Amino acid sequence: MGSFFSTMFTPPPAGDDPNSAVVAAHSKAAYDQQWEAAKSSGKLVVIDFSASWCGPCRFIEPAFKEMASRYTDVVFVKIDVDELADVARTWKVEAMPTFVLAKGGKEVSRVVGAKKDELERKIGMFRSS
């Protein structure tokens, strides 16, 4: 019964949704390709470091996807820390979810935790700068 109520408040992981504006990188090569393209575009990049077993990660996922569909001038990337631990280490990720905001190849900010309002505020601030 407890798991029934948990699923009401924590949506299950959606996996790779072909209709989502979020790009999921499942290999170091795919991540490197996305990162290089995003760096050269000059756009703000928001990297969602999460894990399939992380409740807060699953909770914020629908909001992250919604932001990706709304902010089409921003690149949204999702990294599973269990699949790409080396990428998570490179960005010094210590908790999930962690959202790293980068522009021009450099980190400009980060949000640690499922803090939707703070993430949206920072996206708004850095996408226009």
Active site residues: 54, 57
Nearest to 97 by CA among 84, 86, 74, 81: 81
Nearest to 78 by CA among 100, 59, 95: 100
Element (H, E) at 11: none
> Tokens 């999921």, residue?
24
Question: Can you give 51-111 as a three-state secondary structure string?
Answer: CCCCHHHHHHHHHHHHHHHHCCCEEEEEEECCCCHHHHHHCCCCCCCEEEEEECCEEEEEE
